[in-house]
Chain A
């Protein structure tokens, strides 16, 4: 099946530092991946669409200079939270469209819990 992995699963960092989160499609290629943010007991909010070989598309209200996205290959997208602050603490989840022939079906990674002290 379509498996998406994320690394790390948990990260704790000090305020002001930058954190990189990786999203990989393990058994398929993904020219597009999506990054979501989820606060405790809340829904998933789409942050940006990551496009292989081109710039990411950010949703309204998401700071592109704060959340840097790089989609360097067909199996890897990275999200870097720059100059992290406590309010950036959240559960970050990526997804990628599967290979069932449909462009709709999305498979999610296990998520990365970021805690900024």
Chain B
């Protein structure tokens, strides 16, 4: 089955710096890659996603890139702010027809220091 690895597990940056989180996946049939932000005690919130027919997608300070050949995708956050501090999860969706389940990475705890 699909396996998703995520690095780094923790990331500490100064406010205004950029943060990059990387994930790799194993199943070449996976075709959907969302990123979620989870704050303490809350459910994950979708922040951006990308599909396998697209190489890059951007939404204001957040961007995601996908390299299908290498089977890895990355989250880029620019001009980080303290409110970006949270745990970020990448996920991959192996195609199985119908509504596809998500396989999550281990998560990255991002701390943005003022």
Contact = CB atoms under 8 A, between A and B. Distances in A.
Nearest to A48: B101
A110 B42 contact: yes
A49 interface: yes
Contact of A106 (B34, B41, B98, B106): B34
B43 A103 contact: no
Contact of B99 (A6, A32, A111): A32
Interface residues on chain B, size class = 20 to 34
Task: Tell me the dominant secondary structure on chain A's binding face.
Answer: strand
A23 to B, nearest CB: 11
Interface string B87-114: 0010001000011111111110000000
Nearest to B90: A43
Contact of A32 (B45, B51, B98): B98
B107 A43 contact: yes
B24 to A, nearest CB: 15
A46 B51 CA distance: 21
Contact of A104 (B42, B44, B49, B107): B49
Contacts of B104: 43-45
Contacts of A111: 41-43
Given A93-B43, A111-B41, A44 B101 contact: no
Interface of B: 32, 34, 36, 41-46, 49, 51, 89, 93, 98-107
Interface of A: 4, 6, 31-32, 34, 42-46, 49, 93, 95, 97, 103-111, 113
